[in-house]
């Protein structure tokens, strides 16, 4: 099984920036896409961004577009999420995910569109 190990979360002030990382380890697999989701306390997990491993096409949730940037290192099966101008509404546990087979973009905006998940990293933004 593939393991996704996340890092980069922490306690920050509004207006600060963070760069989250998620590295895949374990058995080799063909990566189709890797993405980020987040879940605030008391709320459902929501889509943040995803990147296609072949071609690098990206998709973002409207709520983060312009402030968040997703990127990946294909050779290392590692995905990054650059978060700029953080605000308290960004406070959540951020999860990375990976999909191994082809899927339409709409599927990659859904929890069920991914095969593997990381443990999550907490991002807390104070005002």
pLDDT per position as a tens digit, 9-63:
999 999 999 999 999 887 767 889 999 999 999 999 999 999 999 889 999 999 9
Q: What is the pLDDT of residues 60-78, one digit of tens each?
A: 999 999 999 999 998 888 9
Is residue 111 pLDDT above 80, yes or no?
yes
Distance, in Å, from the CA atom of 47 to the CA atom of 50, rounded to the nearest integer, reads 8
Q: Determine how many CB atoms are found less than 10 A away from the CB of residue 40.
A: 14
pLDDT at 101: 92
């Amino acid at each position: 099984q593939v393991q996704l190990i996340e890092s980069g979360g922490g306690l920050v002030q509004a207006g600060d920036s963070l760069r989250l990382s998620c590295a895949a380890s374990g058995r080799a697999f063909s990566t189709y896409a890797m993405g980020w989701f987040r879940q605030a306390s008391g709320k459902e997990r929501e889509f943040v961004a995803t990147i296609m491993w072949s071609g690098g096409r990206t998709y973002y949730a409207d709520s983060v577009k312009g402030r968040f940037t997703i990127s990946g290192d294909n050779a290392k099966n590692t995905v990054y999420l650059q978060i700029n101008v953080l605000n308290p509404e960004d406070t959540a546990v951020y999860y990375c995910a990976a999909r191994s087979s082809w899927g339409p973009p709409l599927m990659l905006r859904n929890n069920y569109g991914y095969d593997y998940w990381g443990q999550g990293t907490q991002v807390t933004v104070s005002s």
